[in-house]
Chains A and B, each alone.
Chain A
């Protein structure tokens, strides 16, 4: 079974600084997708970024980028120029790309605080 591990339960960052959230996963598949979701205090789950495993290029969305290391099964999220609105729980998630892939497997989350 696939597992997703987020080893940092909590992190903090100064406003305008850069922070990196870690995620590792375990799978025997070669084709899959990885995601980062943001959950602010409003508790809405918001898709931040998506990475396809067969693509070498790291995904980027504005201030958010990932460092995808397939061999190491690592998928970290970098937030640049941190803003107060970035304070939230962040969840890493995995999806197998084959038939019947209806499940997102989530990590336990990292709570990010942004210090003014």
Chain B
């Protein structure tokens, strides 16, 4: 089944403890992206990647890192999480044309930083 897989689905952590949210897609998509969703703000892009080893900042990149060493994987790294990073995170991928054909989204990671 074609899908974007994120793990974990839920995560509670403490301030300052480094964490990684994994994302993997099995559709051979070139484009991958991370979004965060907050009540009343919709979804905002954190980082995106056009291909292996090519990444760039979205609208809200502060406090996050990403890497794209393999085409299928695009992990999101929080080096020192803070409570304002409590949010619902989505990984997404797209075959071609960037966002023009819409992204396929993972099922989300609910992160709570205390």
User: Bound pair: A and B?
Assistant: yes
> Using a CB–CB distance below 8 Å, which chain A residues touch chain B?
4, 33, 35, 37, 42-45, 47, 50, 91, 93, 95, 97, 100-104, 106-109
B61 interface residue (CB < 8 Å to A): no
By the criterion CB–CB under 8 Å, are A95 and B105 in contact?
no
By the criterion CB–CB under 8 Å, are B107 and A43 in contact?
yes
By the criterion CB–CB under 8 Å, are B45 and A43 in contact?
no
Contacts of A37 in B (CB 8 A): 102
Query: Please, how many angstroms separate the alpha-carbon atoms of A64 and B104 in the complex?
Result: 19
By the criterion CB–CB under 8 Å, are A104 and B99 in contact?
yes
By the criterion CB–CB under 8 Å, are B45 and A104 in contact?
yes
Task: Identify which of B14-22, B36-44, B70-78, B79-87 touches chain A.
Answer: B36-44
Q: Smallest CB–CB gap between B10 and chain A, Å?
A: 11
Q: Smallest CB–CB gap between A89 and chain B, Å?
A: 9
The total of Cβ contacts below 8 Å across the A-B interface reads 66
By the criterion CB–CB under 8 Å, are A95 and B100 in contact?
yes
Contacts of A50 in B (CB 8 A): 101-102
Query: Please, how many angstroms separate the alpha-carbon atoms of A69 and B7 in the complex?
Result: 40
By the criterion CB–CB under 8 Å, are B40 and A108 in contact?
yes
Contacts of B104 in A (CB 8 A): 47
Query: Please, how many angstroms separate the alpha-carbon atoms of A93 and B33 in the complex?
Result: 15
A106 touching B99 in the complex, CB below 8 Å, given contacts A44-B108, A45-B90: no
Contacts of B40 in A (CB 8 A): 108
By the criterion CB–CB under 8 Å, are A108 and B99 in contact?
no
Q: Which residues of B, 26-57, contact A by the 8 Å Cβ criterion?
A: 31, 33, 35, 40-45, 48, 50, 56
Query: Please, how many angstroms separate the alpha-carbon atoms of A104 and B98 in the complex?
Result: 9
Contact with A103, one of B41, B99, B108 (Cβ below 8 angstroms): B99
